[in-house]
Amino acid sequence: MKLLFVLPLILVSSVFSLKCHSQQTCAGHAALCAKPYNKVSFATTHNAYSYAPPAGSPALNQERTIQQQLDDGIRAFMLDTHKPLEITGVWNKIVAWFQTTFHRTNAADAPEIKGVHLCHQSCALVDKGTLYDTLKVFRQFLNENPGEVVTFIIENFDAFEASQLSPSFKLADLERSAFAPTWEHSTSNQNYTWPTLGEMVDRDQRLVVFVDSHTDTAKVPYLLAEWDYVIETPYANIHPVSEFPCTQDRPRDHVPRDLLVVNHFTYNRITIGDNNIDVPLTAKQLQKYGYNSKEQVQTHLDTCTKVWGAERVPNFITLDYYDVSGSTLLDTVNRVNGVSS
């Protein structure tokens, strides 16, 4: 009798398990679970942290916060790490007195945490606070969305060592979800066997971090050297742009890599004497000139197909003010991935 009672439970449990597994989604779609990371396209924001306030700054690139970008479906984020502005004099003495008097021991106040900020060009223009503060937003998102994979492309503006960047990731509890390759480095810088999104989800290796300089994978294995794996199309596209190029701009060794960044954004160039100053177009300008329209983005991708072939996936389609033309970026990424919106 006991055996007859247990067998149906085992069968029901097995069917339920199979059903749950069959309903697994990766990046919102079951069809993407079987695709390797390097064969998937991700909606990407250029200088993702560079949004108001301060309103009216000439260095803004986005309208929406990191949380709003995540909610909208953005899954790859360009971030710039800087040293914060130094505040000297009386203010420093006041802060030091408070810290000494009240014995503050908050880990977020550690020098290695406070010393890495997200800024655009200069922290005097846009300073979004510590890298750690933003990383906490991503930790919460990954906790609440176990089927999502997120990518960082970090411009290490002030040349932090990997050991100076990693404490922010550790304190934000992101190290446990960071992808660290198990392969040996290839001299060709390409043709690695990337895991599928499903494998990354199952292993909780759902954060991929590329840094453009001063990486050391022997010490911090998840901070990956961007130029070992990634190539970028030209980023200094000066308005007016008649045609966005798709040639390999960085690195300039003409050696392909596994991942392709398509930089689809423009600058106003201001010339003062012998100096050129490039300032991002505003959201209103992008609306006026239609750079973020489906037609312009698709034309850019068509150019990439001519250059790289139809099999090459534009992995990171990168826009300023991605939201000014509605769902263009998300629709384009879904079309590349062969899934519905």
Question: How confident is the model at residue 89, as a pLDDT?
Answer: 53
* In contact, 250 and 262? CB cutoff 8 Å: no
Question: How confident is the model at residue 221, as a pLDDT?
Answer: 98
CA-only gyration radius of the chain, Å: 22
DSSP 106: -
Instruction: Give the orientation angle of helix 162-171 with respect to helix 131-144, to 10 degrees.
Output: 50
Question: How confident is the model at residue 341, as a pLDDT?
Answer: 78
d(CA 28, CA 280): 31
**Bridge-based pairing state of the strands 117-120 and 122-130:** antiparallel
* In contact, 155 and 209? CB cutoff 8 Å: no
Instruction: Go through 53-71 and write b for each residue having 16 or more CB atoms within 10 A of its CB, e for each that does not.
Output: eeeebebbbbebbbeebbe
Domains of the chain and CATH, by start: 30-185+202-337 (3.20.20.190)
3-state SS, 36-99, equals: EHHHCCEEEECCCCCECCCCCCCCCCECCCHHHHHHHCCCEEEEEEECCCCCCCHHHHHHHHHH
- For residue 71 the two structure tokens come to 């909610």
Question: How confident is the model at residue 313, as a pLDDT?
Answer: 98
pLDDT < 70: residue spans in the chain? 1-22, 87-105
Omega within 30 of 0 (cis) for the link into 240: yes
Question: How confident is the model at residue 16, as a pLDDT?
Answer: 39
d(CA 232, CA 44): 13
d(CA 34, CA 341): 18
Question: How confident is the model at residue 106, as a pLDDT?
Answer: 81
* In contact, 314 and 303? CB cutoff 8 Å: no
Question: How confident is the model at residue 98, as a pLDDT?
Answer: 52
* In contact, 235 and 261? CB cutoff 8 Å: no
Q: 219 Cβ partners below 8 Å, 6+ apart?
A: 162, 163, 166
Question: How confident is the model at residue 11, as a pLDDT?
Answer: 47
Question: How confident is the model at residue 18, as a pLDDT?
Answer: 40
End-to-end CA distance of the chain: 51
Cα–Cα distances in Å, from 69 out to 44, 64, 126, 171? Answer: 9, 6, 18, 23
Question: How confident is the model at residue 13, as a pLDDT?
Answer: 46
Nearest to 206 by CA among 21, 26, 12: 26
Question: How confident is the model at residue 105, as a pLDDT?
Answer: 56
Tell me the pTM: 0.90
| Triad 269, 212, 141: Cα angle to 5° | 95
* In contact, 49 and 81? CB cutoff 8 Å: no
